[in-house]
Amino acid sequence: MFPSNYAKSVSIVKAGWHAAIVDAFVRSCREHLEFADMPLVVSEYEVPGVVEIPLFCQKLIDHSNPDLVVVVGLIADHGVYRHDFVASSVMDAIMRLQMQTGTPIIYGILTPQDFMSEGREAFFMEHFVIKGREAASAAIKTLENERLLAEALVKMA
């Protein structure tokens, strides 16, 4: 068991497409993580798009072993079915990776409806700020649950 002052590592993996909106999520998430009641070391990585996130996360987990990963991206519906396939494929790959490695992954890859409509970009910019805070809260809660589980396992041993 790690001492209470042991810093947990959180890696944020973001897609480069729609960078302004994705970065709003990342800034919000990082700011909220700073207020965690536990020491955290936060690293940030950028991949070209959401399709590249699962493989990068697998390599990151294999080589760096972060305590938790947050993934973020935006899959825009441009009026073709491709966005549905991309969203489903990425979600499935992230879920498999999480289950195979045991590393928690907080999912912040969103597929907003009507993204291309007039005025929607500003709406989603604000929405991603909210989602960044929510992802940070989920990360903190997940790390706390991991700590409680580890303590319970030590007591059972």
Residue 33: strand pairing partners: none
CATH of domain 8-156: 3.40.50.960
What DSSP line would sit under 119-157, residue for residue?
Answer: THHHHHHHHHHHHHHHHHHHHHHHHHHHHHHHHHHHHH-
Residues 33, 43: Cα–Cα separation, whole Å: 12
Rg over CA atoms, the chain: 16
Residues 43, 50 contacting (CB under 8 angstroms):
no
Tens-digit pLDDT profile for residues 65-98? 999 999 999 998 766 667 788 899 999 999 999 9
CA distance 50 to 15: 5
Query: Does 52 score more than 60 pLDDT?
Result: yes
What percent of the chain has pLDDT above 70? 89
The domain segmentation of the chain, as residue ranges, is 8-156
| Strand ranges for 3-157 from DSSP E | 8-15, 40-47, 68-74, 105-110
CB 108 within 8 A of CB 32: no
Do 50 and 73 meet the contact criterion of CB atoms below 8 Å apart? Answer: yes
pTM beyond 0.85? yes
Q: Find the catalytic residue in 30, 82, 120, 133.
A: 82
- What is the rounded distance in angstroms from the CA atom of residue 103 to the CA atom of residue 97? 8
Mean pLDDT in the chain? 91
Q: Produce one character per residue of 116-140: b if its CB has 16 or more CB atoms within 10 Å, e if not.
A: eeeeeeeebeebbbebbbbbbebbb
Q: Is 30 a catalytic residue?
A: no
